[in-house]
Every structure is written in C-alpha cells, then in structure tokens.
Amino acid sequence: MYRWMLCFRYLRTRYIALASIVSVTLGVATLIIVNSVMAGFAAEMHERLHGLASDILIECHASGGLPDPDANLAEIRKVLGDRLDGSSVSVHVPGMLGIEFNGQLITRHVNLVGIDPETYDKVSQFGRFLLHPGNQSQVNFDLKETGFAPDREGFPESGWGYRRQRVAYDQALEQERQRVESSLRRIRGETLKPDAASEAPSMALDFSTSMFVDASGEGPKKFDPAMEQFPGIVLGISTCSARLRNDDGNVSDHYYCRPGDDVRMMFPNASDNTKVVNQKFTVVDLYESGMSEYDSTFAFVRLDQLQEFRGMIDPSTGTRSVTAIQLKLVEGADLNIARDDLRRRFPPDRYALNIQTWRDMQGPLLAAVRLETTILNILLFLIIAVAGFGILATFFMIVVEKTRDIGTLKALGASSSGVMSIFLSYGVLLGIVGSGVGMVGGLVFIRHINSIAAIIEDITGQEVFDPTVYYFSKIPTIVDPWTIAWVVAGSITIATMASVLPSLRAARMHPVRALRFE
C-alpha cells in the first residue's frame, strides 16, 4: 500500500520526471501518426492498384499472341469453375504516340491496349476513370459532341463541337496562307514555272479515278474531318498533358491534345517479319486513374480495330488472337490458389504464358511501402529508446534524492523488493502517462490532420503535399487499434526497463549509509 501511495505522490510532485517522458510522448504520437498516414497511403494504393488491374492476368508475349483465345477461355472456365466471375481479352503492344502541337510533333512511348468495350469494364475498373460521364457507364469509342469533364475547372472545350471549329479554323488558316503566298509571289514578280514533270506527257488516262469506283458506283470519298473521325483512342491523361506551376504559384494543366483532336500511333504488326503500322486515331476521351504509372503510359483503342491493324486475324478460320486474358474471380475466392491451378493447367514449359495475380504484378510496389513503414517504425522506436535513457538518468537522480527516505523506509521494515517496486511502479506509471498523452495527442492530430496541414501551409508558404506530385487532396489516414496497442505497450516497456537499474540501486542501498546521506 505504501508503495502505491508513494508512487503516486512522486508522480504528482516531480515535474522533472514528466519532462523526461515528453520524448516518450512525442515518440508515441509520431509513431501513431506516421503509421496511420502510411496505412492510409498503402490502402489507397492497394485499392487503386487492385481496381486498375484485374484479379488475374494471363499474358502471352509472342508477338502473334494467343491464336485461339476462346479455346483458352473454355479451359480456364473448366479449371476455375464457379470461382470465375467474368473475363475479358485484350491486346497489349508497345507503341509510339505522335501528337501535333503548335506545329511540332510530340512523341511519347505508350502501351497501346486494345480492349473489348463490352467486357473490359467488368474485370477491372476502367469506365470510371474516363472524363466523359457518358463513357463512364458504357465505354464507347465514338467521339461525343461535348460535355467532357463537367466537374473539372478549366478543362478546354472538347468533342465534335471543338473538332468542327478547329477544322474550320485550320482550313481558313490554310486558305489565308495560300493567299499570302501567292500575293508575295506576285509582289516579287515570280510566276509559277511549270517544271519538267508537269510538262511531260500525262499518264492520267491510264490511272483515272474511275478505277476506284466500288460496287455501288461511288468513288473514294475524301476524308472530311469535320464530319468523320478516325478510329477512336482513349489516352492516359498524362501522355498528352503536363501539370505545371505558373508564375503565381498555382497549379494548372496544359493539354497537348484533347478529345476531338487527331493523333498518330505507330506500333508493330503481328507478323514474324515485323513492320511498323502508322495509323491515325481520333482522341475520344482521356483516362485518369490517379496512378501516374497508368496515366502516363497507357492508351486504349478498340480491340477488333487493333487486331485488324496488326493483322491478328487468321485468314482461314477468322479467329482473332489476343495477347492477354483478364479474369475476375468471385468475392472471397483465393487468388493465389486460382493462379496456381491455372499454372498447373498451363505449365510454363509447354505454354508461353505468364499467369499472375494483381498482387504479383504490383507486389514490389506494395512491398516497398511495407519496407518503408517498417524502417520508419524502427527509427521512431529508437527515438523512444533514446527517451528511455533520459528516463534512466532522471530516475537515478530521483533515487539519489530519495536516499534518506529509502533508509527511513528500510528502518521501518520495508523490504528491499518493496523499495524497488516503488520506483519500478513509478517508471511504469510514467510510461503509462507518457504513452497515454502521446496516444491522445496523436489521435487528435490525425483527426485534424488536413486542417493542420493547411495551417502549416499558411505559415510556411510551402505546400505540405505538392499536388503536382501527389494525387490526393486530402491526406489519407487509417487508424489501426492493434498498431496503437503495440506502440503504447512498447513505450511502457521501454519506460519500465529504463527504471529497472535505478530501482535496483534503491533496493540495494545499505540502510545505515542511506540514513546518514546528506
């Protein structure tokens, strides 16, 4: 009883000891905050990565791809049974994107993906990342009239309306240019000299346009961009835009092309003697997932069109080959087991197939986040351990200060272990108080983390989370009770261990020497 009484009295009267646990408090608070922010980050990433990738991806890297995907799908259905929720096929091929901007050609390396608009959205999240609300519900590669990104401020006018305007503008510009050029020639006194080629006898009669008349009697039409579009393409938003800070420090996006513009794609065809296909596409929408890896490297076109361009259709049977199959499993299915079952059915020594779950694909990224979290935890715990030494020193001082009282207690019949437990309990109590305050402080900080970040931004003028780099506006946090539990338990343990040595010293004091201590 005397132990508890003294212990609590010491706690109440000695503020220097409370100062020594401030570092414990800070360490605990920081650990809790850091862990919850990193958990929030990781969960966001997790969710996005899983949303972007299908549950299981089967890839074939031969340039011709899988020659008979339907047969493969039938086998897959047999292996997975009712675990399979949906499937989709696609073609992945590296390509070069060319965008004409301000008279220059901007090139970008992209991964060109041919998707099946009916099924792709069912195996992974795709539609919800498109800018046009109409496309979000049903993916469609036809250019819409207008109405892109209605919630986004400052998004330039796009769609058919814009396209027609631009065509008209381009034509007017071209006419003006020709007019200026011919008046310049007139001023300089030049006339158009007929060159040798146009003087030569004409072969026009041998190659008249009547050759190109088709079955219905119509000749080839001239492509009118104001009325027609090329095959549609959805570009990752970062492939055709740049996010910059302008002079007054505000962030703005600059688009090199937008829905309604035409771009060029160059990609290899599917034969063994690879040739480059050069095809024009019309941008029909932009794709923004928030993950820079996807937004800056992907471009999507219609699967059947891509197969035609690349020559992936078997002329005799009409089967269309693909390079990838995406699978979605039912809720709760074990992905690793499913992957292993498929690997057994399509063993790597007989099939050139790469079968992975989404975690396998993004494993390294998630593992990196986990490693970072672990290292941070170790570092912050070391800080608390350092705080432990502060407690050790303070306790030594307190024990020295209490030497006479320890002598008195022993004179009154207190046992050595009893005296030791006074100081040990004091250490535990300090640990509890320090960790408790740290825990409460940390949780309050997390609650108001966005306001605090705003205040810091106001004070320092620096942005805490640079929106040009990070893709969220609110800091994500997840508070895990188990994390809090072991942080608090660990800190109390450190505080307790730090008080062991001084307590032992108190216990071992010789009563007479203690009583005589000045």
Partner 1 sequence: MNSIRPRLMSDQPVLQARGVFKSYQKDRVEVPVLRGIDLDITPGEITALVGRSGSGKSTLMHLMATLDQPDRGEIWFRGNRIDNASRKERDAFRNRDVGIIFQFYHLLPELSAIENVLAPAMIGQSTWSYFRNRKESKRQAEAMLDRVGLLHRATHKPSEMSGGEMQRAAIARALMTRPALLLADEPTGNLDTETGLEVLKLLRGLNADDGLTIVMITHDESIAAGADKTWKMKDGRVVDDRLLQVA
Rg (CA), the chain: 36
Q: Please pick, from the candidates 84, 113, 409, 495, the single residue that binds partner 1 as defined by CB under 8 A.
A: 409
Q: Please pick, from the candidates 249, 413, 461, 481, the single residue that binds partner 1 as defined by CB under 8 A.
A: 413
Place of tokens 């503008």: 169
CB of 417 to partner 1, least distance (A): 10
317 binds partner 1, rule: CB under 8 A? no
416 binds partner 1, rule: CB under 8 A? yes
For residues 323 and 58, give the distance between their C-alpha atoms in angstroms, rounded to a whole number. 8
Identify the burial level of 34 via C-beta atoms within 10 angstroms of its C-beta, where 0-12 means exposed, 13-18 middle and 19 or more buried. middle
Q: Please pick, from the candidates 203, 412, 459, 469, the single residue that binds partner 1 as defined by CB under 8 A.
A: 412
For residues 87 and 37, give the distance between their C-alpha atoms in angstroms, rounded to a whole number. 35
CB of 423 to partner 1, least distance (A): 14
Size of the chain in residues: 518
CB of 492 to partner 1, least distance (A): 21
Q: Please pick, from the candidates 21, 93, 312, 414, the single residue that binds partner 1 as defined by CB under 8 A.
A: 414
Place of tokens 């892109």: 148
CB of 3 to partner 1, least distance (A): 8
Considering only the stretches 47-55, 310-318, 414-422, 488-496, report the one whose residues sit in contact with partner 1 under the rule CB under 8 A.
Answer: 414-422
Identify the burial level of 333 via C-beta atoms within 10 angstroms of its C-beta, where 0-12 means exposed, 13-18 middle and 19 or more buried. middle
Considering only the stretches 1-9, 211-219, 231-239, 304-312, report the one whose residues sit in contact with partner 1 under the rule CB under 8 A.
Answer: 1-9
420 binds partner 1, rule: CB under 8 A? no
Residue 1's contacts (CB-CB under 8 Å, 6 or more residues apart) are none
CB of 511 to partner 1, least distance (A): 4
Q: Please pick, from the candidates 407, 427, 431, 490, the single residue that binds partner 1 as defined by CB under 8 A.
A: 407
- For residue 107, list its beta bridge partners: 98
185 binds partner 1, rule: CB under 8 A? no
CB of 395 to partner 1, least distance (A): 16
Q: Please pick, from the candidates 147, 415, 456, 466, the single residue that binds partner 1 as defined by CB under 8 A.
A: 415
405 binds partner 1, rule: CB under 8 A? yes
Nearer to partner 1, 243 or 404 (CB): 404
Considering only the stretches 197-205, 229-237, 411-419, 455-463, report the one whose residues sit in contact with partner 1 under the rule CB under 8 A.
Answer: 411-419
Q: Please pick, from the candidates 31, 32, 410, 487, the single residue that binds partner 1 as defined by CB under 8 A.
A: 410
Q: What is the DSSP string of 396-465?
A: HHHHHHTHHHHHHHHHTT--HHHHHHHHHHHHHHHHHHHHHHHHHHHHHHHHTHHHHHHHHHHHH-S-SS
- For residue 361, list its beta bridge partners: none
Considering only the stretches 49-57, 116-124, 148-156, 412-420, report the one whose residues sit in contact with partner 1 under the rule CB under 8 A.
Answer: 412-420
Query: Which parts of 365-404 interact with partner 1 (CB under 8 A)?
Result: 404
Nearer to partner 1, 8 or 169 (CB): 8
Host H or E run for residue 279: strand 276-287
2 binds partner 1, rule: CB under 8 A? yes
Place of tokens 């949303």: 51
Nearer to partner 1, 185 or 404 (CB): 404
For residues 95 and 298, give the distance between their C-alpha atoms in angstroms, rounded to a whole number. 10
C-beta separation of 503 from 420 below 8 A: yes
E strand segments, 102-239: 104-115, 232-236
Phi, psi of 320 (to 5 degrees): -105, 130
Query: Which parts of 4-63 interact with partner 1 (CB under 8 A)?
Result: 4-6, 9-10, 13
CB of 329 to partner 1, least distance (A): 59
Q: Please pick, from the candidates 67, 161, 390, 418, the single residue that binds partner 1 as defined by CB under 8 A.
A: 418
Among 323, 393, 362, 356, residue whose Cα is nearest residue 49: 362
Residue 190's contacts (CB-CB under 8 Å, 6 or more residues apart) are none
Nearer to partner 1, 177 or 508 (CB): 508
Query: Which parts of 485-514 interact with partner 1 (CB under 8 A)?
Result: 510-512
Nearer to partner 1, 390 or 511 (CB): 511
CB of 403 to partner 1, least distance (A): 11
The count of residues interacting with partner 1 (CB under 8 A) is: 25
Nearer to partner 1, 24 or 414 (CB): 414
* Residue 345: other Cβ atoms inside 10 A: 16
Nearer to partner 1, 65 or 502 (CB): 502
Q: Write b or e for each residue in 368-380: b if 16 or more Cβ atoms lie within 10 A of its Cβ, otherwise e.
A: ebeeebeeebeeb
CB of 410 to partner 1, least distance (A): 7
CB of 401 to partner 1, least distance (A): 10
Identify the burial level of 266 via C-beta atoms within 10 angstroms of its C-beta, where 0-12 means exposed, 13-18 middle and 19 or more buried. middle
| Token pair recorded at residue 170 | 């381009």
| Token pair recorded at residue 324 | 């990838």
Residues that bind partner 1 (CB under 8 A): 1-2, 4-6, 9-10, 13, 404-405, 407-416, 418, 510-512, 515
